[in-house]
Amino acid sequence: MTLPTPPRAPVPPPRPAARSIRSSGVQRAAAERTRTTIARRRVVNVVMVGITFVAAIVATLPLLFILGHLLKAGASSINLDFFTEIPKPPGESGGGMANAMAGTLVLIVTASLFGLPVGIGAGLYLAENRGTLIANGVRFLSDVLNGLPSIVMGIFAWQFLVRPMGKFTALAGGIALGAMMIPLVTRTTEEMIRIVPVSLREAALALGYSRWRTSLVVVLRTALPGIVTGALVAVSRIAGETAPLLFTVLGNQFWSLSLREPIAALPLQIFIFAISPYDQQHSLAWAGALVLIGIVLVISLAARFATRSRFGRGGD
């Protein structure tokens, strides 16, 4: 990528060189050199535009391939049964993933009940105590938590919740997912509260509002669309997580919505079907993947529009 820096200093400025074409040979040679240098530099420029453009195209290709194949393979095996029935025993045709979809919903709600209050509260703290030692430390650790591999969260939840209770439960999975939401929600909440104008806060305080009411009623409400976006992004991320569920919710071939029992989940069920040897289950896995992607994309798009309506442009 590094380009040999063109020799700028020794090259005479073009204008005098151009005028002197008629005069001396030395100057003519210099002008010639300048022209070829400029031509070469222009070519390099165009080539690099081309290379980066090709890179951009190549980078978007996998997405198109994956979505394309997903639509092709998933749509052919999706039908009404898929949404209303539970999985059939291996080898039998038919069956669906209704219990897995319901399970994913239960897990998302559980995770949100735990992850959202903590995340939003921590975000409020970070936004209102900027620059303090604790705030900087918490912000850093929240980034560290964000980078924690989901499988580590899974074994932690197993050790912390499943082992003492002696059984796999939906609750353990929900808490593992909720913990994964916290850093994302914290950071977006902090950013969204930071862009609320200080004048708004000052106006509320000047009207005699107490600090906590100012924060919760005025500032938080103003920042709400952005925070909703952050929450939706966090939900879309955990909706497809599989690794933290492997040893916490375990999966379930039957209907169960109880938090104290093993529960089925869409991504987990896709994994189980994908590595099974039966074609019938493979096609169910594709259908499940299509539905899962659909859910994730709808939530992501909703998140984008929630921000756009408020601040005029998409907040990334």
Report the site for another protein in 172-231 (rule: CB under 8 A).
Answer: 179, 182-183, 186, 207-208, 210-213, 215-216
List the one residue from 236, 256, 281, 307 that touches another protein (CB under 8 A): 236
- How far apart (Å, rounded) are the C-alpha atoms in residues 187 and 88? 43
Which residue shows structure tokens 């005029």? 312
Residue 86's alpha-carbon distances to 98, 146, 269, in angstroms, are: 6, 34, 11
List the one residue from 86, 125, 228, 261 that touches another protein (CB under 8 A): 125
List the one residue from 21, 44, 113, 165 that touches another protein (CB under 8 A): 44
- How far apart (Å, rounded) are the C-alpha atoms in residues 293 and 74? 11
Q: Is 140 in the site for another protein (CB under 8 A)?
A: yes
Phi, psi (degrees; rounded to nearest 5) at 201: -60, -45
Q: Contact 154/176 with Cβ under 8 angstroms?
A: yes
Cβ distance to another protein smaller for residue 106 or 204? 204
- How far apart (Å, rounded) are the C-alpha atoms in residues 85 and 106? 17
Q: Is 76 in the site for another protein (CB under 8 A)?
A: no
Cβ distance to another protein smaller for residue 106 or 246? 246
- With a CB cutoff of 8 Å and minimum separation 6, the contacts of 233 are 184, 188, 299, 300, 303
Q: Which runs of consecutive H residues, i.e. helices, occur in 76-97?
A: 80-84
Q: Is 103 in the site for another protein (CB under 8 A)?
A: no
List the one residue from 21, 29, 66, 109 that touches another protein (CB under 8 A): 66
CB of 207 to another protein, least distance (A): 7
Token pair recorded at residue 176: 């593992």
Size of the site for another protein (CB under 8 A): 101
CB of 122 to another protein, least distance (A): 4
Token pair recorded at residue 100: 């897995």
Q: Is 19 in the site for another protein (CB under 8 A)?
A: no
Question: In whole angstroms, what separates CA 27 from the centre of its chain?
Answer: 59
Helix (H, G, I), strand (E, B) or coil at 118: helix
Q: Is 29 in the site for another protein (CB under 8 A)?
A: no
- How far apart (Å, rounded) are the C-alpha atoms in residues 271 and 60? 25
Long-range CB contacts for residues 128-134, cutoff 8 Å, separation at least 24: 128/193, 128/215, 130/194
List the one residue from 63, 133, 198, 206 that touches another protein (CB under 8 A): 63
List the one residue from 18, 32, 39, 41 that touches another protein (CB under 8 A): 41
List the one residue from 78, 86, 105, 138 that touches another protein (CB under 8 A): 138
Q: Is 69 in the site for another protein (CB under 8 A)?
A: yes
Cβ distance to another protein smaller for residue 19 or 69? 69
CB of 176 to another protein, least distance (A): 11
By CB under 8 A, what part of segment 259-298 binds another protein?
A: 267, 270-271, 274-275, 282, 285-286, 289, 292-293, 296-297
- How far apart (Å, rounded) are the C-alpha atoms in residues 95 and 78? 11
- Select the span of 23-31, 92-100, 238-246, 253-261 touching another protein (CB under 8 A): 238-246
Which residue shows structure tokens 């070829």? 36
Cβ distance to another protein smaller for residue 90 or 137? 137
Cβ distance to another protein smaller for residue 25 or 164? 164
Token pair recorded at residue 136: 């900087």
Cβ distance to another protein smaller for residue 24 or 297? 297
